[in-house]
Structure 1
Amino acid sequence: MKETGGAGTVLNLGAIRNKLRFRPSPPQVMTFGFIFLILAGAQLLSRPISYQEHLEVPFLDALFMSASAVCVTGLTVLDTGNHLSLFGQIVILVLAQTGGLGFMTMATLFALLFRKRISFRERLVLQESINHASTEGVVRMIRKVLLYALVIELTGAILLSGYFMLEMPTGQALYFGVFHSISFFNNAGFDLFTQIPDRAGSLLHYVEDPFVNIVSMLLIFFGGIGFLVISELVTYPKNRKLSLHSKVVLSVTGILTVVGAIVIFALEFSNPNTLQPLSAGGKVFGASFQSITARSAGLVTIDPVELREVTQFFIVLLMFIGAGPGSTGGGIRVTTFAILVGAIIAMIRGRNDVVLFRYRISKNQIHQAIMFTMIAFVIICLGTMLLSITESGSFLAILFEATSAYCTVGMSSGLSSNLTDAGKVIMIVLMFVGRLGPVTLAFALNTRSKKELFRYPEGKITIG
């Protein structure tokens, strides 16, 4: 009997240990990983070595800059070019690269370099981080992600560095080329152009420059469509096949870019503070760049503050839609927008099925699209209301800033540089939730998932 009791005690202790052992789910790993990155970045950015001499920076400002970099947003409370030292700028760049590709992708890079085996649990986290369909082939996909990112960023760095050599010393041109290529591809929105005397920030100086416009827009485009789409574009000449996902992302991205450019061109054509003084080519580049950057990157060639209010509101809509899934951009995603539009068209035509490119979309995905959109809408509304209490500014400017933060865009109405401490905290939360995704965050906070044991009877209510 004693032996039996002893064995039972051992079994009970083993069961207790299993219960006490914390095994984070993939959403929890992602959540804690992003929090760790932001806090680690804030610690580095709060050190005197990260700033120019005689500049004291509160920890909250360092936390804001770190969150903006990790969440690849680009909103700043400090001038990246003038306030940060070389060390601080490199910290921002590393955080943006890690946040853009995903910290699990970067961790996998080191695991592959040291020939470490990737466990099944780690594959689950990788699947979650890059929105892959399954764990099968996820490590192979990560290798492609790293390769594509390296090739695109290196190409962008070479092109930009060569061009910048025409107007600055070689060393500075090389650094500017590398920094801005990584920033643009990851849709981070950070820039260093204020280091140049009498030069405005972002790409305001290059509004009519075809080379910088085209290279920057291509970097933003590839960063915003997602690595799955890039992978299929690379293999398309060989197999002549694109998945439904890639077709939707490419077509909707193209339509939104063209329509957005036309609308911005029409609204700002006669605005003396934006497009009117520019040449015909400058007007086209100005409208096109604002259209493509509004959905993910945050870089500008035209000051958003000078835009007409109707144009600012239209850009809010573009920011809300965002970029492609599994990309470095944010928003509700172009695929979600496509499903919502498809559902509206199907309802107007009296059809039961939502069909895109001759494929029927499942009811579950339609419900998810509605859920993602409503959650994003509610969070942005709540953030706007809170910022309206803590900050002084027009309602449209506050809505613009809140949407830019949650959708990790980085375009600013001028509010971020004058935020109160409470406003900075609200913006940090908006950036974090927007980058991680509210659904992922909800799964991370929900430690126990219970299976429904029964269903309620179906009811009917009047709609419309």
Structure 2
Amino acid sequence: MLPIATTRPITLLDALFTSTSAVTVTGLGVIDSELTLTFWGQLIVMMLIQLGGLGLMTFAVLVFSALGMSIGVAQSHYLREDLKQTSYESLSRLTYTILRIVLLAEVAGAMLLCLTFVPKYGFEMGLWHAIFHSVSAFNNAGFSTFSPGLVNYATDPIINVVLPALWITGGIGYLVTSEIARRKFWQGYTLHTRLMLVGTAVLIVLGVGLTAVLEWNNPETLGQFDSWLARMTVAWFQGVVPRTAGFNTVPIGELHESTSLLYMALMIIGAGPTSTAGGLKVTTIMVLFLATLAFFRRRTHVWAFGRSVGLEEVLKVMALIALSAVLMFSAIFVLMMTETADFLDISFEVASAFGTTGLSRGVTPELSEFGRIVIMVVMFLGRVGPLTLGVFLATSVPSRVRYPQGQLHLG
């Protein structure tokens, strides 16, 4: 809200919504980042994106280490939970590995993006646009310094290669990236990494393929391009965007309803744990699929790639999906009562907020003050994770009594 950060006065709710969207690496906006924010305002947004993507616990450990302060048991416990680790060993080393991955990816991305932006905007502005988009892409934020997004760069080869590479790398998770760099291909990978890579590949193929099929002749999206190569280029970019990236090279509001429904599903799934992305996470959906497959094959345990999945993980998946469904249904129900937008636009907005994606069919600036607060809550819970919130609120009571099994009819 400082005068140095904006070109015109903005309300407290506008500033709060923008800050929440940035720190949860979502990308939904109620103000125009190019016309309303100055360089300093955009810099503040970029810093919030970096903090949100890096993770506040990881950043705190880096600050402790830089100041020469030791990490206590309580801090190690919270960091272990934040990074989804099962032991306290090598947490500091993993934190520095995360920092190296972030710096390497964002610096490399900014240098490559300069090839597109510097010739058009000059060295200083071109460098700034490159840095901002590199940070925003790697952290799966979806914020852009351009009012129409990246519509003017729909067929630019550098944009279509560098940005997806950044958000896919940031979205698969730090643990997967580190393991790929250190271990032998496939044979040395853990079950988590294998499920993430397979799930990511399947979702990308489905997203890109179905985007091309559904939007090929839509004159407002892919149909506006003459060549099949240009259409496939745009389909590639938009097909991987719902992995929680949030950029757009075509107007999202002009997508067919079937494509919007597809994107809602992809946004809700999101990317990987310990990554810069939100959503249910790919591994959650993979475990759900494996558990369903085991049920229909009458197996009493869940396994994949020669490794079993514990009952506790399966129960976590059930709890996470149930909590997420209740959260999104409640948000849609409340917004349908308070807003004038139609059902698809509101549902799309809630899915985008929960998946911290940032895609919108244009309803974000039209939300009422209460509607914006609802979306902020959904963004926050989508980034923190409803299961994490439930675990911290839950009380562990050891059971002293076991009851005989009862008969229950399901389905």
TM, length-normalised to structure 1: 0.86
Distance in 1 between residues matched to 2:232 and 2:387, nearest whole Å: 38
- Correspondence 1:124 to 2:77: yes
CA distance in 2, matches of 1:239, 1:404: 33
The residue correspondences of 1:59-458 to structure 2 (distance < 5 A) are 59-194=12-147, 201-236=148-183, 241-278=188-225, 279-446=227-394, 448-458=395-405
- Name the CA distance, whole Å, in 2 between partners of 1:244 and 1:338: 11
Moved more, 126-135 or 218-227: 126-135
Cross-structure match for 2:9: 56
Cα distance between partner residues in 1 of 2:183 and 2:115: 30
Amino acid at match of 2:168: F
Residues 17-44 of structure 1, C-alpha deviations (whole Å, 9 max, x = no match) = xxxxxxxxxxxxxxxxxxxxxxxxxxxx
Q: Work out the CA distance in 2 between the residues paired with 1:134 and 1:303.
A: 46
Aligned counterparts of 1:286 and 1:161: Cα–Cα separation in 2? 21
The 10-residue stretch of structure 1 (401-410 or 353-362) with the greater mean CA deviation from structure 2: 353-362
CA offsets per residue over residues 207-259 of structure 1, 9 Å max, x none? 11121111000001011000000001111359961111001101110111011
Work out the CA distance in 2 between the residues paired with 1:332 and 1:457.
34
What is the deviation of 1:178?
0.8
Structure 2: any 5+ residue segments left out of the alignment?
A: none
Instruction: Tell me the distance in 2 between the aligned counterparts of 1:202 and 1:240.
Output: 41
The CA deviation at 1:283 is 1.5
- Flag the structure with larger Rg: 1
What is the distance in 2 between the residues matched to 1:284 and 1:444?
A: 45
Measure how far apart 1:456 and its partner are: 3.6
How far is the alpha carbon of 1:49 from its aligned partner?
2.2
Deviates more, 1:112-121 or 1:220-229: 112-121
Is the Cα–Cα contact under 8 Å of residues 258 and 288 in structure 1 kept in the other structure? no
- CA change 1:239–1:373 in 2 (3 A) is closer
Question: Partners of 1:143 and 1:455 in 2: how far apart?
Answer: 46
Unpaired runs of at least 5, structure 1: 1-45, 195-200
Instruction: Classify 1:282/1:458 alpha carbon distance in 2 versus 1 (closer, same or farther; 3 Å).
Output: same
Counting aligned pairs with the same residue, the percent is 37
Quick one: distance in 2 between partners of 1:439 and 1:422? 25
**Letter matched to residue 428 of structure 1:** M
* TM-score normalised per structure 2: 0.96
Amino acid of the structure 1 residue aligned with 2:40: F
Does the aligned pair in 1 maintain the 2:21–2:379 contact within 8 Å? yes
What is the alpha-carbon distance in structure 1 between the residues aligned to residue 85 and residue 150 of structure 2?
34
More moved, 167-176 vs 283-292? 283-292
3-state SS of paired residue (1:48): coil
Aligned length: 410
Task: Give the secondary-structure state (helix, strand or coil) at the position aligned to 2:373.
Answer: helix
Higher mean C-alpha displacement, 338-347 vs 241-250 = 338-347
SS at match of 2:308: strand
For residues 65 and 365 of structure 1, the distance between their equivalents in structure 2, rounded to whole angstroms, comes to 35
Q: Quick one: which amino acid aligns to residue 391 of structure 2?
A: F
Please say if residues 207 and 302 of structure 1, whose CA atoms lie closer than 8 Å, have aligned partners that are also in contact: yes
Q: Is the 8 A contact 2:33 2:146 kept in 1?
A: no
Q: 1:238 to 1:330 in 2, by over 3 A?
A: closer
Q: 8 Å contact 1:320–1:332 — kept in the other structure?
A: yes
For the aligned residue pairs, the C-alpha RMSD in angstroms reads 1.5
CA drift of 1:439 comes to 2.0
